[in-house]
Amino acid sequence: MATASHPAAPAAKKPKVDAGAGAGDMETDDKENTAKGANTYAEGDVHDLMKLYYARLFPARSMMKWLSYGNDGKHPQADAGFTQRREFCFTLDGDIFCRYQSFKDEKELRAALKDKTPSKIDLGPVFNVDPAKRMAYGAGGAGGDRVFAPVEREFVMDIDMTDYDDVRSCCSSANICNKCWPLMTIAVKIIDRALREDFGFKHLLWVYSGRRGIHVWVCDKRARSMSNEARAAVAEYFSVYKGTDASGTVKRVSLTTPLHPSLKRAYDDVLAPYWTDTILPNQGLLEDEKFFEPILAMIPDANIRDEFASQWKSGKKFATSACPDESVARWNKLVQKVDAANNPGKSGKQSSFEMKRCLFDVVFAHAYPRLDVEVSKHMNHLLKAPFCVHPKTGRVCVPMDPAKAESFDPMTVPTVAQMLNELDAAGGAAGAEDEYELTSMKGAVDTFNATFWDALDKECKEELAVKARDVAGAPTVEW
């Protein structure tokens, strides 16, 4: 039987597979969404549709209001040059990178997008000067001793499904399906709560990458002003999975006994239930030698390792009517055996810390979020902007509601062709303002506002009001 520390799956519960999961739902490079109804615009012609997308659907106003942080109005305390010091990077046809683009407002951004039609938009930091004028600063420049340098940047995190290929039996590389997407759901649930509760951040923008991953932009003023050292420290806080040992087989994790409170919370509330209800049944990890050998390698007791390796390789079945999934049934037996070995009642022999911790190690090594730490560590690292279109899938990088992470389905994310067809079907007039409201983009912008921007916009306005009161109350100098 399972213990409180390592719960088994509920006996009568059937394995959980997200609705529609299966081989037929796998997303590959040559299989895209198809718009419903009359299809004037075909899927697959992503590049050819981008000019129309930028001209009629891209929510440039929402983008620039966010990136201005209240400095886009005529408030006397607003920094009029703030928005134009932000770096945009356009990727043009042929993988040509145009860095250090800058725009003072929505109108300039929209004109540049229609003119250059980038296949991707990346956002960089806010610099101390307009990045387009950077050559005037630094050694030998007219700026004298002033050095071109980043001064502000959202703290960002990037989680990519390809980093879980050793956990996925359903897909590999850039392919995803509803069986492996719960790994991203786990990442959202754990990271969102930790950033809010452990670090006190409030303004988090979660975005689907358009293909196989997710990004989070932490936009609190305190986060934007963090040094590279502070960014690295926050990223390291989440760096539990450390890859494999020299053999390439045994997974390494950084855990303590007892677990750190944040990790215990993640395990109890997210990892343990998802491991037995979703990950094991979806991936069948204990039914394939390729996956169960690395798991058994994490068990310190050689007798237990050998016993289960022999049984599992022989094909011995553990599933029952009460627990019909074979991987879950095998896990339950392993939990029982390890727990018995950790109980000194019969032999009086005390178990090692490694033995007591090994089942936690297995779960964390396979299901805890795996970050691309290098993306988070440096203020001047570029990251794909929300609302741009992935050039291979045609899907829009839409905002996500972290409170509803389990219901987010990447297979239903709108594509650029789908939205242009929706616009035609709704009778949208070219050049009309906010045409996107006639399409699926409206839902994406609504999520952006409701889960992120509305609260941050209010805070930005309050900060400007406080500055104005401070200026008004400041003593004046009499001559």
For the record, the structure tokens of 149 come out as 């340098």
Contacts of 171 (CB under 8 A, 6+ apart): 26, 161, 177, 179, 180
What letter does residue 213 receive in the DSSP assignment?
A: E
> One of 158, 326, 361, 372 is an active-site residue; which one?
158
Question: Quick one: 286 exposed, middle or buried, by C-beta within 10 A (0-12, 13-18, 19+)?
Answer: buried
Q: Are the C-beta atoms of residues 142 and 133 closer than 8 Å to each other? A: no
Catalytic residue among 32, 122, 154, 160: 160
Q: Is 122 a catalytic site residue?
A: no
Cα–Cα distance between 478 and 274 in angstroms, integer? 68
CB count in 10 Å sphere of residue 259: 17
Report yes or no: 75 and 67 within 8 Å, Cβ to Cβ.
no
Length of the chain (residues): 479
- CB burial of residue 44 (10 Å; 0-12, 13-18, 19+): middle
Q: Quick one: how far is CA 429 from the chain centroid?
A: 35
DSSP 128-170: SS-GGGGGGSSTTSTTTT----EEE--EEEEEEGGGGTTT-SS
| Residue 72 is among the residues annotated as catalytic for this protein | no
Alpha-carbon distances of 91 from 67, 76, 80, rounded to whole Å: 20, 36, 28
Closest to 274 (Cα-Cα) out of 7, 3, 2: 7
Please state, in angstroms and rounded to a whole number, the distance separating the CA atoms of residues 53 and 395.
12
The CA-atom distances, in angstroms, between 363 and each of 106, 238, 366 are 46, 15, 5
Catalytic residue among 87, 220, 372, 422: 87
Q: How many other C-beta atoms are found inside a 10 Å radius of the C-beta of residue 412?
A: 10
213-218 sheet: strands from edge to edge? 155-160, 213-218, 204-208, 399-400
Residues 408, 443 contacting (CB under 8 angstroms): no
Residues 438/426, Cβ–Cβ less than 8 Å: yes
* DSSP at 269: I
**361: annotated active-site residue:** no
Question: In this structure, are residues 397 and 207 in contact, taking their beta carbons and an 8 Å threshold?
Answer: yes
Contacts with 75 (C-beta within 8 Å, 6 or more apart), sequence order: 464, 468
Residues assigned a catalytic role: 87, 158, 160
